[in-house]
Every structure is written in C-alpha cells, then in structure tokens.
Amino acid sequence: MSELALETRGLGKRYGRKWALRDCTLELPVGCVAALVGPNGAGKTTLLHLAVGLTAPTAGSVRVLGTSARERPDLVLPRVGFVAQEHPLYRRFRLAEMLKACGRLNDTWDQELALRRLERLRIPLDQRIETLSGGQQAQVALTLALGKRPELLLLDEPVASLDPLARREFLQSLMEAVADGGLTVLLSSHILTDLERVCDYMILLSASQVQLAAPIDDIVGAHRVLSGPRSDVSDVERVHAVVQASHTDRQTTLLVRANGHLYDARWHVDEVGLEEIVLAYLGRSTAYEELAS
Ligand code: ATP
C-alpha cells in the first residue's frame, strides 16, 4: 500500500454549536497534486489547520505522512510546508534576512533553491517584504515553504489575491517544483478553473462535509449526464447516485455518479466536465442546507 500524505477519519471541528468541518474521512496518496475546493466557509482552512496541528479536532483523527502533527510535531512539521491564507511574513524584514532566519530554523533548508527561485522571479533580496506587491509576497511565501524541501506542501488560497497572469505564473512555478520530485501538494481555492490544469486529485468540501475526494480522472470517468423524455427516475436512483435532476415538461436531465454499467435505451448518455460536476454537488449541498435550516 502506498504511503498516505494525509489521512482523516471521522474528522470534525466544532466552534460553539457550529461544525466548521464534520465527519471528514479521506485519504490523499503521496505524490498527488490535490485541489481542496469549496465555497467560502466550507471548511478548507479548518481542514488545513487541523492537518498541521494548529487546531485540535473535536472528533476523529488526522494524520500527516503517517503521524499526528499534534502528538509528534517534531516528526511531522519538518516534513511539511504550510503557507497560510494571509502569507504571514515578517513584513519589516528584508528578504535576505528572512532567508537567513529560515536557514537557522530549518535543518533541511535549501538556500540555493530559494535564491534561484527569487532570482528567476526578479525579486531583489535587499527589498523589505512590506514593499513587495501582493503577488510577489505570495511568491516569497511559496519560496520559503519550498526552500524547506518539504514532502507535503499545504497552501491555503495561494492564488486568491493574484491577477490572472500572476496566478498562472504562480501555478507554473509550483508545477516546476512538483516536477523536481518527491512533493505532494494540497492547494485550497474556491476557483476551480486554474486548478483543473495543474491538479490530478480533488477534495470537494461543501457545507462542512466532504462531497468528493478522488483522482480527477476517476471523478470525471464516473459521472455522466443522462437526458431523455420526462420520466420517473426511481429505477435510476436504485442503481446510480443521482447528483442533480432537472425536468421540463418534456425532458428529464440527470447528472449521475454511475455505479457500474450505464446503459438504458431510454437515456441519451453524455460525458460531463469537472466544473459541471463540481457545480452540481455544490448546488445539491446548498439545497440540503436550506432544507436543514
Ligand atoms: P474561505 O474560502 O472563506 O477561506 P473556508 O472554506 O476556508 O472559507 P473555514 O475558514 O474553514 O472555511 O471556516 C469554516 C466555518 O467555520 C465557517 O463558517 C467559519 O465561520 C467557521 N470558523 C472558522 N474558524 C472559526 C473560529 N475560530 N471561531 C468560530 N468559527 C470559526
């Protein structure tokens, strides 16, 4: 069995009466580049904070590279790079001072790798962090995390504040780091479009719960759109999972997660893209939330 970069079992976090993350069970194999996708407030940051031990679970367990970060931070944290949403850098520091501090704090620090990246990005070492643009600060935060030579890199909304070009450059440079080998990445975002190109795995969170967690090829391969004359769909529901159903006077359209072979002369079967699948799950969980409230 391959090693797991991240493994959660019934993981939950509650603040007061509200669950920020509930009953989260998933496995992220080593070597994946995974998108952690979900709308605002879905629980993405909560999951990442639980993984690195910044917060304690209310229920269940989480292991990173086989070990709990809260029980053995000494074993886990040197192997993990974490870039928080707000890129908490020492803003008054010059970049060169920041690199020196990283070298002191991390046994595995790769100064050459950090210098090479910053040179390529044309970010001068004598500049104070606070005078860098938002995009440059995001790149610096990624460089500092990569310079640690982590086995698992957790990035919380790294592209949210970037313009489309900077976003593409950022993801490109992340891909180069992955191509260098030995790195698993979990990258949260509420924007799917950019991530689809660079990720091979997706965890979809919505309303504090895991909706999907699987290789993207498997997700796309398992979903189909069925369309046909308006009809009762209970026979389809008995075999397959109906994610979304819509009806007009004459026609019924279903987005289903197929459970085995999908053939019925009644239905026209079409493939469906990842974005449409994600939107269908998000639409469904919103409907559940409305029903529950
Ligand atoms: P975003 O995309 O907006 O960053 P997110 O998916 O990262 O959202 P979280 O930050 O994990 O979502 O928050 C999940 C839920 O938990 C939200 O409803 C949030 O209000 C709540 N929450 C998170 N942290 C706390 C806290 N410290 N105290 C109380 N509630 C919290």
Tell me the three-class secondary structure of 180-226, residue by residue.
CCCCEEEEEECCCHHHHHHCCEEEEEECCEEEEEEEHHHHHHHEEEE
- At CA 245, angle to CA 242 and CA 246, rounded to 5? 170
Which pLDDT does position 286 carry in this prediction? 54
| 191/193 Cα distance (integer angstroms) | 6
Tell me, using a 6 A CB cutoff, whether residue 43 lines ligand 1.
yes
**DSSP reduced 3-state for 262:** coil
Q: Which two tokens stand for residue 176?
A: 């180069």
**DSSP 8-state code for residue 94:** B
For 282, residues 6+ apart whose C-beta sits below 8 A from its C-beta are 38, 39, 204, 206, 211
Q: Would you state the structure tokens that stand for residue 260, as one six-digit string?
A: 């085995």
- Determine which residue's CA is closest to atom 22 belonging to ligand 1: 20
Per-residue pLDDT of the chain (293 residues; tens, 9 = 90+): 458 999 999 999 999 999 999 999 999 999 899 999 988 888 999 999 999 999 999 999 999 999 999 999 999 999 999 998 876 677 788 899 999 999 998 888 999 989 998 998 888 999 888 898 888 888 888 889 989 999 999 999 888 777 788 788 788 878 887 887 779 999 998 777 778 888 999 999 988 889 999 999 999 999 999 999 888 888 888 888 899 999 998 999 999 998 877 777 788 999 999 999 999 998 876 544 544 44
Pairing type for strands 251-257 and 223-229 reads antiparallel
Task: Check if 46 has its Cβ closer than 6 Å to any atom of ligand 1.
Answer: yes
Structure tokens at 72: 């053995």
13, 14, 44, best to mutate for ligand 1 pocket (most atoms within 8 Å of CB): 44
**Helix intervals (H) in the chain:** 44-51, 73-76, 95-105, 111-120, 134-147, 164-179, 193-198, 216-222, 234-239, 274-292
**Residue 129: its pLDDT value, please?**
87
Q: What is the pLDDT of residue 293?
A: 40
Q: Which atom of ligand 1 is nearest to the CA of 208?
A: 14
What is the distance of C-alpha 279 from the center of its chain?
Answer: 16
What is the number of H-type helices and E-type strands within the chain? 10, 13
Taking the CB of residue 260, how many other CB atoms lie within 10 A of it? 6
Other beta carbons less than 10 A from residue 259's beta carbon:
11
Centroid of ligand 1 to alpha carbon of 148 (angstroms):
28
For helices 111-120 and 95-105, the axis angle rounded to 10 degrees is: 150
Q: Which atom of ligand 1 is the closest one to the Cα of 38?
A: 6
Question: Both tokens of residue 124?
Answer: 């001068």
Pairing of strands 18-29, 4-15: antiparallel
Please give the backbone phi and psi of residue 171, each rounded to the nearest 5 degrees, phi first.
Answer: -65, -35
Ligand 1 contacts CB of residue 20 (under 6 A): yes
Site to substitute for ligand 1 among 13, 21, 37, 45, most atoms within 8 A of C-beta: 45
**pLDDT the model gives residue 59:** 97
What is the predicted pLDDT for the residue at 285?
62
- How far apart CA 35 and CA 158 sit, in angstroms, is 11
The whole model's pTM is what? Answer: 0.89
Q: What count of other Cβ atoms lies within 10 Å of the Cβ of residue 112?
A: 9
Q: Is the CB–ligand 1 distance for residue 45 below 6 Å?
A: yes
Q: What is the CA 283 to chain-centroid distance, rounded? A: 19
Q: What is the pLDDT of residue 235?
A: 83
Q: What's the order of all strands across the beta sheet hosting 241-247?
A: 241-247, 251-257, 223-229, 268-271
Dihedrals phi, psi of 125, to nearest 5 degrees: -70, -25
| Predicted pLDDT at 14 | 96
Query: 230 CA to middle of ligand 1, Å?
Result: 41
pLDDT of the residue at 291: 41
Ligand 1 contact, 40 CB (< 6 A): yes
